[in-house]
Chain A
Amino acid sequence: MNPKIEVNDLNLWFGRVHILQDIDIIIPANQVTAVIGPSGSGKSSLLRCFDRTNELITRTKTTGHIVIDGRDLAFEDPLDLRSRVGMIFQQPASLPGSIYENVAVGPRLFGIRDRRKLDVIVEESLTRAALFNELKDRLKKSAGALSGGQKQRMAIARALALNPEVLLFDEATSALDPISTQRVEDLIDKLKSTTTIIMVSHNMQQAARVSDHTLFMNVEEDGAARVVEFGPTDKIFTNPEDEKTERYITGRFG
Chain B
Amino acid sequence: MRRRVYDRIVQIILIAIASMMALFLIYLVGYIIGSGIRGFSFGFLTRAPSGITQTGGVWPMIASSMYLIGLTLLIAVPLGVGGGIYLAEYAGQGRIVETIRFAVDILSSVPSIVFGLFGLALFVQFFGLKYSMLSGALTLTLMVLPLLLKISEESFRAVPVTYREASLALGATKDQTIFRIILPTALPAVFTGVLLSAGRAFGETAAVLYTAGLSPTTPVFPLDGGRTLSTHLYLLATTGKIEESFKVAMVLLVVILVFNVLSNVVISRFRRRFIKEAR
Q: Are B277 and A94 in contact (CB under 8 A)?
A: yes
Instruction: List A209-252 residues whose CB lies under 8 Å from chain B.
Output: none
Q: Are A109 and B184 in contact (CB under 8 A)?
A: no
Instruction: List A56-110 residues whose CB lies under 8 Å from chain B.
Output: 56, 78-83, 86-87, 89, 91-97, 105-106, 108-110
Whether A178 sits at the interface, judged by CB under 8 Å, is no
Nearest Cβ on chain A to B155's Cβ, whole angstroms? 13
A-B contact pairs, 27 of them (CB 8 A): A51-B169, A53-B165, A53-B168, A53-B169, A82-B169, A82-B171, A83-B170, A86-B170, A89-B165, A89-B166, A91-B162, A93-B162, A94-B277, A95-B163, A95-B167, A96-B184, A108-B180, A109-B171, A144-B273, A144-B276, A144-B277, A145-B276, A148-B279, A155-B166, A158-B166, A158-B170, A159-B169
Nearest Cβ on chain A to B268's Cβ, whole angstroms? 16
Q: Write the chain A residue with the least CB distance to B184.
A: A96
Q: Are B170 and A109 in contact (CB under 8 A)?
A: yes
Whether A162 sits at the interface, judged by CB under 8 Å, is yes
A106 to B167, CA, bound (A): 8
Nearest Cβ on chain B to A81's Cβ, whole angstroms? 7
Nearest Cβ on chain A to B138's Cβ, whole angstroms? 34
Nearest Cβ on chain B to A210's Cβ, whole angstroms? 21
Interface size range on B against A: 20 to 34
Question: Helix, strand, loop or mixed for chain A's interface?
Answer: helix
Q: Write the chain A residue with the least CB distance to B183.
A: A96
Interface residues of B (CB under 8 A from A): 160, 162-163, 165-173, 176, 180-181, 184-185, 273, 276-277, 279
Q: With a CB–CB cut-off of 8 A, which chain B residues contact A87?
A: 165, 169
Q: Are A109 and B277 in contact (CB under 8 A)?
A: no
A65 to B185, CA, bound (A): 38
Q: With a CB–CB cut-off of 8 A, which chain A residues contact B162?
A: 89, 91-93
A85 to B238, CA, bound (A): 71
A89 to B185, CA, bound (A): 19
Nearest Cβ on chain A to B273's Cβ, whole angstroms? 6
Within the complex, which residue of B168, B180, B277 is in contact with A56, where a contact is CB–CB below 8 Å?
B168
Nearest Cβ on chain B to A100's Cβ, whole angstroms? 15
A210 to B160, CA, bound (A): 30
Instruction: List A133-185 residues whose CB lies under 8 Å from chain B.
Output: 144-145, 148, 155, 158-159, 162
A13 to B172, CA, bound (A): 24
Q: With a CB–CB cut-off of 8 A, which chain B residues contact A83?
A: 170-171
Q: With a CB–CB cut-off of 8 A, which chain A residues contact B172?
A: 79, 105, 109
